[in-house]
Structure 1
Amino acid sequence: MQIQTEQLRQLLNTIDQLYAAACDPEKWPVFLSAAAQLFESQGTQIGHHDLTNHSLSFSRLHGYEWDEAHYQKYDKLMPQDPRLPFFAQNPFKPIHCRMNITDNELHETEVYKEVLEPGGVEYSIGVNLTEESRSMSYFLALRNKSQNRFGSSECDLLQELIPHLNRAIFLQRDISSIDFERNIAADTLDGMAVGLCVVDQSGGLKFSNRTAQDLQSDDDGLSVANGRLIATGQSGSALRAAIRNVISQARTGTSVGGIPLQIDRPSGRDPLAVLVASLFGDHLKSGWAGMRDPLAILIIRDPRQPVESRHELLSRMYSLTPSQARLANLLVNGISLRDAAQQAGLTEASARQYLKLIFGKMGVTRQS
């Protein structure tokens, strides 16, 4: 896809705000607003849908003033929504509403007459980020009757955003439950192609995933000294200021997006793209190992690295869990099941059970 300069700038800003929202639920409105501008839509929505019980367990909507009664009406009529089957059957694929249904087919439904039309929704484009057949996380951009319908160009644009949406869902889920003492979510976070560092106000390093540890070991822009994360040159003062800023905002309850900055590298390679955001809001209530004060999280993207790691790609394409994706990746590289189990921290018996699940999800019958 060819992306124009201004559109690329909007896309990168939207990605930054997405990661900030994954770290602090209060910042979802900032991301949704940026996404609405990106897709030139009246509104955007992100949420979680329980396919078994046909109910919404989480939903954030931007651009529309729907009251509780309107949400409840849609919740009741959701099983009749003709768009949902196509989203459910095509995970991780951009779908716009007129790809599979006509205007008349949509307009004749009760969900359109009772919810969509009164609510100002005529066109939609979105993606299903489901992990399993029983639930679906999703993102939608919405337009009204006065706007043009979505097409292939918007699908191409959404395709660029999908790996980051998927990663943000994992990130929000695991950050909300992580225990630094036991590294409950380390398996998922280590499999990500972005670096993740959690620091306190003075830069004291609380947590780094594997990608971030590799970047720190390179000592090319970022490193760790005396337990503190530091950046070289002028980037160091900018990083310290950003960390202090987001933590100060968190203390006062200010809801803002993350602070983007670049970390220059002495080697002359392209700078690291860093987003500094606060860990606040619901995370303090859930408890980050008894955290009494807000922390800052750094999301680090290295231009040299692919958008997705092998773990993330396998998880996204085949709905594998992080542990299953890690085991599959080791086996694809030619390692024996016994050695792969050892590297993955599993018993050989557990690895064989994982393998059966992997076979089922990937549609294969032999390890080779």
Structure 2
Amino acid sequence: MVNIISDPIDMSLDNTPAYDLCTFSGLLESIYKGLNETPLWQGFLCKLRTEMSANICFLILRNPNPGDAGLLLSDGLPPALSGSPNNVYSDGLYAIDPFANLPSDQVTTLEEFVPTEQLLRSEFYLRCMQPFDLLHILGVDMQLPGSLRVSLRITRCANARSFTAKDKEKITLLIPHLQQAIPLYARLQQMETERSLLDRTVSQLSLGTIILDDGRRVLHCNAVADRIITEKDGICSKDRQILITHSSEANHFRQLINNAIDAHKQSKPYIVQAMAISRKAGRLPLNIVVRSMPQVSQLDGQTVASVAIFISDPEYKSHTSAEILGQLYGLTPAESRLAMALADGHSLEDASNSLHISRNTARAHLRAIFAKTGVTQQTMLVSLLLKSVAAFLASSR
């Protein structure tokens, strides 16, 4: 037998503040600190659960859909509900949740939304609430810029008191700050996605990228630059500093970096400088381009990117996708394999040997490739392949 305490919402006048200053400041701090937490907003949800005398707080950033468990952040949620990706709530029960699609930005209780007698007979209550001793729910759905819609839910057990008007006021005061912080998180996430995509694309072009601050310290290296540096052939790193092996080249490199940093600090037009880095006997030199980064407004003590170094290894083999080549130009698998070998710098004779085909077969494939791509010379073909989207979308599998 469920012992229900369902006092009506207290609508009497109450002039006491919803929060004391220290508590409210702590909650606001946790909202903005939560942007950099893993999991997101864990500290905020924990503080809010304590403040609201609740057993569970959860924030739905992406609603569940068939095949998508959504993005649900929680504190106090039982593992059977929170376990991702196939939690019991997201896996079907969200669709029958009666406490959904609330009026935007209006804090509402479940008692106001669904009569208690009707709730206790519902499948959602029997399957998702009663097994975890849940009865009272306070919630708000927020419509945010960019078509974002998020939901905050706070629950209490059956033996706890119903949520009051003062409880609703507490959540109402937090809404403007959540409306600021959540779109900011979405924007930061989008920027990180774009940066990651650009980084992968540059890497697939076999171009190493190193970013330095104005103290010559490494802020970022992409995968290609990491590989080149790890080889310690002509260039390496120590204590977050880029070092050149040969002393004469090291002095020149240091001067290029100094010039770029000076241009950055003085907001001069971006300068671009280049040099070659010698490697062991028999290896082609690395090609390096150094350029200054644009000056940006910065806070005192903030570390910002000042110099970009681009490294090209002429011996690095391309990873053009055979499948994409076939789709682009209608090449057969055999023709795609030959085209890839030529793009990697092999002669027709070497390519035929590595592919275990006769020279006559290779020549026949090459004629077919010329006809399908519209080029007439092998050098033109190599240039075409290296500049095609097949090179950009090279498979990293």
**What is the TM-score when the length of structure 1 is the normalising length?**
0.45
Greater RCO (Cα-Cα under 8 Å, separation 6 or more): 1
Larger radius of gyration between Structure 1 and Structure 2? 2
**What is the TM-score when the length of structure 2 is the normalising length?**
0.42
